[in-house]
Amino acid sequence: MKNSKWVRLASMSLIVFSCALSPSAKAQTSYQLGAGVTNILDTYLSQEKFKGSGNTFLTLTEKRKTDSPWSTLIQNQVQLAIGKDRADNESLIEGTYNFLIGRYHGWQVAHDNVRLQVGALANLGLGFLYNTRNSNNPAQGRLSLQLMPSAIATWQFRLFSSPTMAKLGKARLRYELDLPLLGVAFSPNYGQSYYELFSEGNYDHNIVPTTFVAQPTFRQQLTLAHKIGRTLALSIGYLGDYQQLQVNNLKQHVLSHYLMVGIVKGL
């Protein structure tokens, strides 16, 4: 009963955020590709830490009415990474999809050149881990839903002083920080096989309520964008995505650092 209450509470948070969408709002959308390094650990599959490289694709859409301080932010992120152990004997493949939707209140400061936003995100994560050498329990599923406090700071400024480049408008420097609070996650228990869980139906605390202690997942983004047309901009930036979970006597983390490049529409 307690677990079902947590699942209903987590689902309600997504519904509330979804209802905040406004079809009449003005939207800005960015599409970004990233490449970088990753560090992976899953003690259900192996006690080893795996290091390697990964790629990610991120879309970000922000909707806001011109006469309202409130905005809605939607993010979709897909990533795929491959890591090797220290002896280079085995590989761990990781794939994740994250859907994030948030609601923010904003303030214009510094002569309207800086916008500060504070709000919260619902973060739904779905993914897998696969060990290429394990014959018993080679894969691990990942499913979680988190409520994350979030803050965004955006600074608009002139990047170039030449009259030709100045006609394109101001550049935009944006920083976003998403912190862990509470949520719910799926995890097998220590020593429990997926056969026991799904074929035998042996439930063993597999839907786990989490806090920032058990699931200290957080994200940060830094992006610099500059217009190349009336509504189109090029962007470059950094994405740090630190996904961590410690429940049922098991530890898991996927720590990623990405260099991001992309385009922004509606800037």
Q: Structure pTM?
A: 0.86
pLDDT at 202: 81
CB 261 within 8 A of CB 32: yes
pLDDT, greater one: 137 or 131? 131
Torsion on CA atoms 45, 51, 52, 58, rounded to nearest 10: 80
Of 69, 65, 64, 157, residue with least CA distance to 111: 157
Q: Mean pLDDT across the stretch 130-146? A: 90
Q: Where are the beta strands (DSSP E) in the chain?
A: 26-42, 49-64, 70-84, 91-109, 114-131, 139-157, 171-178, 182-186, 207-211, 218-227, 232-247, 250-265
pLDDT at 135: 75
Q: 2-265, which class in CATH? A: mainly beta
Report DSSP state, residue 162.
Answer: S
Q: Over pLDDT 90: what percentage of the chain? A: 69
Instruction: Identify the residue whose tokens are 């097998």.
Output: 188
Q: 9-13, 126-130, 132-136, 198-202: lowest mean pLDDT where?
A: 9-13
Given a cut of 60, whether residue 154 has pLDDT beyond it is yes
Report DSSP state, residue 25.
Answer: S
Given a cut of 60, whether residue 141 has pLDDT beyond it is yes
What confidence category does residue 253 fall into, taking pLDDT thresholds of 50, 70 and 90?
Answer: very high
Q: Mean pLDDT across the stretch 116-137? A: 92
Given a cut of 50, whether residue 22 has pLDDT beyond it is no
pLDDT at 166: 59
- The amino acid that residue 169 corresponds to is G
pLDDT at 198: 83
Query: Domain map of the chain by residue range?
Result: 2-265
**48-83 residue pLDDT tens:** 999 999 999 999 999 998 889 999 999 999 999 999
